[in-house]
Amino acid sequence: MAWGQLLFSKTTKSTAYTTPAVARFFSKSIPYEVKVGIPEFLNGIGKGVETHVGKLEAEIGDFQKLLVTRTLKLKTLGVPCKHRKLILKYTHKYRLGLWRPRAEPVKS
């Protein structure tokens, strides 16, 4: 059946296909960290960024200060460009409430 016939059909019976709205329900909730500090945040990002934990804790100190740190400050601390981009991307997502570091999964 052509799209024109589907869209402009004058019959009372609807012939257009619709996709049903399916809600996704997961059986397990994702565990989140209760207290988020600089080490938990950088470990949550991963990808080698966790190597800068000691440096950032010594220079910045507070997680709230890390959330408002700019790229030039990270550059003067010696953080490589790729890691700076990841840190800034995830701090922005964290401030918006779109991302939080996950707790380590419990191994059975």
pLDDT 10s digits, 34-61: 588 899 999 999 999 999 999 999 999 8
Q: In degrees, to the nearest 5, what angle opens at C-alpha 20 toward C-alphas 17 and 23?
A: 165
Q: With contact defined as beta carbons under 8 Å apart, do 66 and 60 qualify?
A: yes
User: CB-based contacts of 9: which residues, under 8 Å, 6+ apart?
Assistant: 15
Q: At what angle do helices 81-96 and 38-45 cross, to 10 degrees?
A: 110
State how far the Cα of 63 lies from the Cα of 108, in Å rounded to an integer: 31
Give the model's pLDDT for residue 106: 45
Query: Which structural domains are found in the chain, ordered by start?
Result: 38-96 (1.10.150)
**Number of alpha carbons in the 13 Å side-chain half-sphere of residue 79:** 28
pTM reported for the whole predicted model? 0.65
DSSP-based three-state secondary structure for 102: strand
